[in-house]
Structure 1
Amino acid sequence: MTYYRQVGDIPPKRHTQHRRPDGGLYYEELMGEEGFSSDSSLLYHQHIPSAIVDATPWSLPELATLANHPLKPRHLKLHALFPDQRCEDHDVVTGRRLVLGNADVRLSYVAAGAPSPLYRNAIGDECLYVEAGAGTVETVFGTLQARQGDYVILPRGTTHRWIPAGNQPLRVYCIEANSHITPVRRYLSRFGQLLEHAPYCERDLHGPSQPLLIEATDVEVLVKHRAGNAIAGTRMIYADHPFDVVGWDGCLYPYTFSIHDFEPITGRIHQPPPAHQVFEGHNFVVCNFVPRKVDYHPLAVPVPYYHSNVDSDEIMFYCGGDYEARKGSGIGPGSISVHPGGHAHGPQPGANERSIGADFFDELAVMVDTFRPLELGEGALVCEDHAYTWTWAGRGPRT
């Protein structure tokens, strides 16, 4: 994301001496994407950022998946994974339960009442949607405030931790990429500015505003990383606390974006899902459906037409409002619908007629479309509503 920010104390020119009050040098770190060929930031540390004193294996939560076979549309009830009200024993990092995944992206869910350990994803960017609750995300760049409806974008390699606020559990839908997650390319100028037709702009993106300095020694950081063709975890012990950055500048950093700041694109007839797109990664996109005026052609049918996902799986996470197309299916807040490639899907029976004449939909949902099939994680296997598959026909399966 080419949008420059400067925070804290930095020297007038990069790669030059930057001295602390006692005359010693700060340690400059370049954090950059695609080698030295894409967005980057320069961070100035009080201590050597490479200094570790121990490294041992970290056992990751269960990441095994099973193919969606036989091929079926599915309904997953994520709130059933964390039924207790406080969720005091769970945190946003280690408490995640894998719902769906493939070689490009993993979708998890967590309800957390405890602070997370320090954590760094060295595989890809993370896009986390706050369904409910609030909290603070402490990062090596500074602090972010995360509230209901916020997306939190964390670039690959960002050391951070989550701290829930208040008594309500922090419910988070986690999109973990094996790539970078960026604003949609068609919304950007060739120099990286969000254009006038984009449904949001730079004013809606909120990055850290000041450094976060913590003094400590022998500090544990959990690192998720590649190990051959597998995903592995390592516990690294740093000689000094990673949150020792006195200043940074550049175009690569974590930020929040509220779904409520997304300006919906509408038209006389039904708009296709790309009109709702907000982010993209390698082989997947993220869209959001927000409260909006709907189609105003005199003969419009406001709910979606039936469509076949010939190239992708469509995953909808329902997080608020009243989703018109799914009425009568059992889907509600906290649900995920899995509509796989190879199967035509669309409104529930009767939704087309009921929608005629509507001028506004009050719905809130986050959609991920993937271009490789998604498999079922352990979370999906224990929270599926098996009746959903047959709701279009009203009967089944055959005996």
Structure 2
Amino acid sequence: MPHYVKMGRIPHKRHTQFRKENGDLYYEQLMGTKGFSGIQSLIYHINPPTQVKKAEKICDIHYEYEKKDALRHRHFRTWNTKAGGDFLEARRIFMANDDVAIGIARPNRQMNYFYRNGEGDELLFVHEGIGKIESIFGELNFTPGDYLVIPIGTTYRVMLKSEEARFLILESNSAIVPPKRYRNEFGQLLEHSPFCERDFRTPEKLVTKDEKGEFEVRVRAQGMLTSYTYDFHPLDAIGWDGYLFPYAFSIHDFEPITGRVHQPPPVHQTFEAHNYVVCSFVPRMYDYHPKAIPAPYVHSNVDSDEMLYYVDGNFMSRRGVEKGSITLHPSGLPHGPHPGKIEASIGKKETLELAVMVDTFQPLHIVKEAHPTEDKKYMSSWLP
């Protein structure tokens, strides 16, 4: 959530001399977006961040899409996606377009290097597991239900405190921010927003590493993954301030907006980015008009694809889905509750469902790696 934060030691004035006890200068780094016109932070390093000992290409980053076939609703059962590797190695991308890639990660090993995405922000939803993000901005703990927003260019790694974890991963090509309609002209969240600044957790502790040795940072940029070796610890910041930093927001702190009749999906919106939005479906009271139908009406996403990741509870409009299910309802096809779900919802007072939805305004393409998890009977599940 963009607001001003300061951690550690910084000079009184920016771009002025800031010296160590031995008289040497600290190295000031401006980390900003959109040239010099976006949000930014100033970071003060013990070592020059430009000093690289070795650079080696690891691989190209490429998602192999399936061939186009008949458009249909899709369902992928990801719960048994194989666990293995560290947080970066464990990623399995299921669908993507030019704006966002969506997948699952089940890491069971610690990262012995750091990672930096130089192509866009990342959004990590913690389904299972506990741990912390170690970054140049400090340490940020996470537990199940947390959204973790990692800005472009952040050097970080995920350290697990549980044997393994399960994440929903969004690799974005743009900034991920709270919806504009919930912010005033100064960026402050408004009274009708389903969350407020108190709900957002910023880095909790800045741990400065003044260490020499060999340290690896893997950087994603220009469609490649490159390994950079430094002779100093990359988390050597003595202090920083600004508006650009990782933060956490728990889905359990999202306050649902309800009404006398069924509310449309935008009331669940939590984040927005270029050409897509992220929504949170959380436990909530149902509509209270005496003739209300709590189940959603059939709707046609004529200009967007709808991806739903099922986290927990009994999703009242669907049958045959489970924890970890991903459904994709593509643009051009109407979708809605399964047979019997509309009538069954009448008279019910609440739902305990928990899910994350991503609506994209460009079609999502299925990556071949998703095929082994697909429930191919899903399209016919609306038949009587």
Q: Taking structure 2 as the reference length, what is the TM-score of the superposition?
A: 0.97
**2:177 equivalent in structure 1:** 182
- 1:68–1:376: 8 Å Cα contact kept in structure 2? no
- The 1:194/1:294 distance shift into structure 2, 3 A limit, reads same
Which portions of structure 1, spanning 4 or more consecutive aligned residues, are displaced by more than 3 angstroms?
none
**2:325 equivalent in structure 1:** 335
Structure 2 CA distance for aligned equivalents of residues 314 and 23 of structure 1: 57
**1:310 equivalent in structure 2:** 302
- The 1:393/1:289 distance shift into structure 2, 3 A limit, reads same
- Secondary structure of 1:65's counterpart equals coil
CA deviation after TM superposition for structure 1 residue 233, in Å: 1.0
Structure 1 CA distance for aligned equivalents of residues 22 and 64 of structure 2: 52
User: Structure 2: any 5+ residue segments left out of the alignment?
Assistant: none
**1:30 equivalent in structure 2:** 30
CA deviation after TM superposition for structure 1 residue 70, in Å: 1.4
Identical aligned pairs, as a percentage? 46
CA deviation after TM superposition for structure 1 residue 66, in Å: 2.4
Q: Deviations for 1:102-135, whole angstroms, at most 9, x for unmatched residues?
A: 0000001011111123100000000000001111
1:138 aligns with 2:134: yes
Structure 2 CA distance for aligned equivalents of residues 381 and 211 of structure 1: 42
Task: Say which is worse superposed, 58-67 or 125-134, in terms of deviation.
Answer: 58-67
- Secondary structure of 1:211's counterpart equals coil
Q: What letter corresponds to residue 350 of structure 1 in structure 2?
A: G
Q: Deviations for 1:315-354, whole angstroms, at most 9, x for unmatched residues?
A: 0000011100003xx1011001100001100000000000
1:374 aligns with 2:374: no
Which of 199, 202, 211 aligns to 1:204? It is 199
- 2:140–2:205: 8 Å Cα contact kept in structure 1? no
Q: How does 1:38-49 map to 2 (within 5 A)?
A: 38-49=38-49
- 1:2–1:191: 8 Å Cα contact kept in structure 2? no
1:347 aligns with 2:347: no
CA deviation after TM superposition for structure 1 residue 20, in Å: 1.3
- 2:269–2:279: 8 Å Cα contact kept in structure 1? yes
- Secondary structure of 1:390's counterpart equals helix
State the number of aligned residues.
382
- 1:310–1:341: 8 Å Cα contact kept in structure 2? yes
- The 1:172/1:151 distance shift into structure 2, 3 A limit, reads same
Q: How does 1:318-329 map to 2 (within 5 A)?
A: 318-327=310-319
- 2:116–2:218: 8 Å Cα contact kept in structure 1? yes
RMSD over equivalenced CA pairs, Å: 1.2
CA deviation after TM superposition for structure 1 residue 209, in Å: 2.7
1:224 aligns with 2:220: yes
- The 1:80/1:210 distance shift into structure 2, 3 A limit, reads closer
- The 1:236/1:340 distance shift into structure 2, 3 A limit, reads same
- Secondary structure of 1:379's counterpart equals helix
- 1:67–1:375: 8 Å Cα contact kept in structure 2? no
1:233 aligns with 2:225: yes
- 2:309–2:326: 8 Å Cα contact kept in structure 1? yes
Q: What letter corresponds to residue 23 of structure 2 in structure 1?
A: G
Structure 2 CA distance for aligned equivalents of residues 140 and 360 of structure 1: 43
1:99 aligns with 2:94: yes
CA deviation after TM superposition for structure 1 residue 385, in Å: 0.5
CA deviation after TM superposition for structure 1 residue 59, in Å: 2.2
Q: Deviations for 1:147-170, whole angstroms, at most 9, x for unmatched residues?
A: 100000000000100111123x21
Q: What letter corresponds to residue 381 of structure 1 in structure 2?
A: H
CA deviation after TM superposition for structure 1 residue 67, in Å: 5.2
Structure 2 CA distance for aligned equivalents of residues 92 and 319 of structure 1: 20
- 1:61–1:97: 8 Å Cα contact kept in structure 2? no
1:360 aligns with 2:356: no
CA deviation after TM superposition for structure 1 residue 377, in Å: 1.3
1:275 aligns with 2:267: yes
